[in-house]
Amino acid sequence: MNLIETATRWRHGTLAVFALLALLGTLSLLNLPLELQPGGDRPQISITTPYPGAAPSEVEDLVTRPIEERLEEVEAIKEMTSTSSLGISDINLEFDWGTNIDDRLVAVLNKMQQVSDLPPEAGESNVIVSNGGGASAMMWMVMEPQDGVAVDENRYRDLAEEVIVPRLRRVEGTSRFLVIGGQEREVEIQVNPKALSDRNLTLDEVTNALRSNNRDVRGGPLVLGRREYRVSTESRADDIRQLENFVLRRDESGRVFLGDVATAQMGRRFRESYFMYNNEASVGIGVIHRVGANVSAVAEGLRNSLDELQARFDQEG
């Protein structure tokens, strides 16, 4: 008895089997995630480390290479690429399809904690899971003023970083955001040369005082019985006025504070680029989705969040 005779004889069973297959196929099609590049996203992990004020060659020698040497110990890496630019180091780890990216993320974080020979000026590394498209965004949003309102790109930048991006991060499937345009805020220390000279201090001493006081120090593990605690000293300033209370020198003649020779204020980072929209300076926000995320669902969630934000902005004026 061949297959055709069996299917004909048991036609009711054959019909049920094909109906079940059609149902499963339809359900699979409806639940299939939509991708910008189907099958083209390899799981990747990006490590970004700031080194303010350093030239690309210094970033390469003092930050990128020490991190790369430690990350080479992570298993299942298919390709490691890095870019050292002015004041920042970017390292990208690419893994094969099917790799458990969560396990690799834990391994990378463990190796990053073992990197101990970075310069003290280097900031804390940002480790995130990204898609195989690198920095290509699935969606761009541009901010523009309402009719009769003057353009203020720096205000747009603050609004994007402090309000819009934190709200959009709550959308499931987003990985990271690119904010371009405007000038980032930064703390500026304006030194009075005469006050510095009168107190026989140098700029290096001011820099070293800021560097040594405005950082968190890890104290290592503390074992009490069966419990182990991680000890750290938190001394980062969370208010600009606290910076002026840093002690520059302490001797028998008294103490010299930073506020005696300098003032701390909020300023803007040096502009390196412009973002123009309709011949006017503006700010753009790019959204990069996670590996395997449903692009259609992510876009819908972003639009809903933007509608909520727009209603909030209209209400607050």
Question: 184-228: per-residue pLDDT in tens?
Answer: 888 899 999 999 998 889 888 888 888 777 776 666 677 787 787
User: Torsion over CA of 193, 196, 202 and 208, rounded to 10 degrees?
Assistant: -110
pLDDT of residue 118: 85
pLDDT of residue 131: 58
Question: What domains appear along the chain, each with residue ranges and CATH number?
Answer: 40-134 (3.30.70.1430), 137-184+269-317 (3.30.70.1320), 202-260 (3.30.2090.10)
pLDDT of residue 231: 73
Whether residue 281 is predicted with pLDDT greater than 60 in this model: the reply is: yes
Question: 259-279: per-residue pLDDT in tens?
Answer: 999 999 988 888 877 888 888
Q: Higher-confidence residue: 120 or 87?
A: 87
Mean pLDDT of the chain: 83
Provide the 10 A C-beta neighbour count for residue 61: 13
Q: What percent of the chain has pLDDT over 90?
A: 23
pLDDT of residue 307: 92
139: β partners: 287
Question: 43-71: per-residue pLDDT in tens?
Answer: 788 899 998 878 888 899 999 999 999 99
pLDDT of residue 161: 92
pTM for the model: 0.62
Q: Higher-confidence residue: 220 or 111?
A: 111
Whether residue 122 is predicted with pLDDT greater than 80 in this model: the reply is: yes
